[in-house]
Amino acid sequence: MRRILMFCLAALCLGYTSLLSAQDAVKVDPKHYKVVSENDQVRILKVHYAPHEKSVMHSHPASVAVMMSDAKMKFTMPDGKTQEMAAKSGESMYSEAATHNPEVIGDTQLDMVLIELKGHKSATKAAADEPAAMAKAAKK
């Protein structure tokens, strides 16, 4: 019985560790996220999605996004809630740390530069209102 308990505990720890490390967008979705530059303050990503492409659940620390194309997106949060937003080329927006699964729901590709800010809120904190906050910031 003790061996079974130790095995289950070890499996749980390994699973939890891989879940935490798997949340980095560049690691879990290199098709859509590429590192352009990185230093101790920021990590700059080039983001590209074709029309109707979907990612996997991942996290970002506090970030600034600069849209390089018009796009219509849907974000699914870890709790299953979804939110849609539209962005225009040239817009920039700030977002708190978030965990989400983005999907392009329009007929145009999404191109964006994402500047992840290091030393800010944890990337593992889910921000259920992230798309609303991004849309609000874009209006300013």
Higher per-residue confidence, 114 vs 131: 114
**pTM beyond 0.85:** no
In a domain, 12, yes or no: no
Three-state DSSP at 105 gives coil
More confident residue, 128 or 86: 86
pLDDT for 74-113, tens place per residue? 999 999 999 999 999 999 999 999 999 999 999 999 999 9
Q: How many domains does the chain have?
A: 1
- Which is more confidently placed, 24 or 130? 24
Look at 90 and 15; give whichever has higher pLDDT. Answer: 90
The per-residue pLDDT for 119 is 83
Strand partners, 94: 64
Structural domain for 106, as ranges = 25-139
Does residue 105 form part of some domain?
yes
* The pLDDT value given to residue 60: 96
Residues 6+ away with beta carbon under 8 Å from 91: 66, 67, 138
pLDDT, tens digit, for every residue of 56-78?
A: 999 999 999 999 999 999 999 99
The answer to whether position 98 is within a domain reads yes
Question: Does residue 21 carry a pLDDT above 70?
Answer: no
With respect to residue 5, please indicate whether it lies within any of the assigned structural domains.
no
For residue 38, being part of any structural domain is answered with yes
- The CATH number given to whatever domain includes residue 111 is 2.60.120.10
For the beta sheet containing 92-95, the strands, ordered from the edge strand earlier in sequence to the opposite edge, are: 33-38, 42-49, 110-117, 63-67, 92-95
